Amino acid sequence: MLEKITLGAGCFWCIEAAFNSVRGIESAVSGYMGGSAATANYQAVCGGDTGHVEVVQLTYDSNLIDIKLILEMFLYLHDPTSMDKQGNDVGSQYRSVWFYYTPQQQQVAEQLIGSLNATDAYSGEPIVTQIRAAEPFYAAESYHQGYVNANPQQPYCSLLVVPKLHKFRKEFSAYLKQPGL
């Protein structure tokens, strides 16, 4: 059964590229969610004018991939203890947020994050990931879709994103559409 989940974890380029390589993910689309403005675009979101977060909306087959595994991958791909900052990206548009569509998705997130916080899984730093009901999604501009695959030599991608993707693909190799990538 196809379902959606929308994730904010810093720059959307890395999150999109990682999840597009995972078996059971039908699509990963970069975009914006969670702001007060009626529309969103890259310039306005990066300027902090809309309150939106850079996100990736996943459409996944719940018969092929479990929502808990998606959450574990999401937490692995970024620092969920960092408020409004991921690496070199700073601002509320880079906050860690899990936008859920179903009560089950909400429950899984609350239970796993609660459990990780209770066990000091992040060296005593609390997970600050927001768990929020999904809001209107605005797809990012077309040049953002598939950005890492189209621009692997771009300095931001080659220095920051590509190494993170290699680490992700090694950790979750059993779940990739094409193992070994």
Catalytic residue among 11, 14, 46, 157: 11
At which residue do the structure tokens 């695959």 appear? 149
In the chain, the amino acid numbered 87 is: G
As to burial, measured by CB atoms within 10 angstroms (0-12 exposed, 13-18 middle, 19+ buried), residue 36 is: exposed
Sheet holding 138-139, edge to edge: 130-133, 96-100, 2-9, 53-61, 25-33, 138-139
11 is catalytic: yes
Whole-number Cα distances in Å, 37 to 93, 97, 139, 166:
13, 18, 14, 36
Residues labelled catalytic: 11
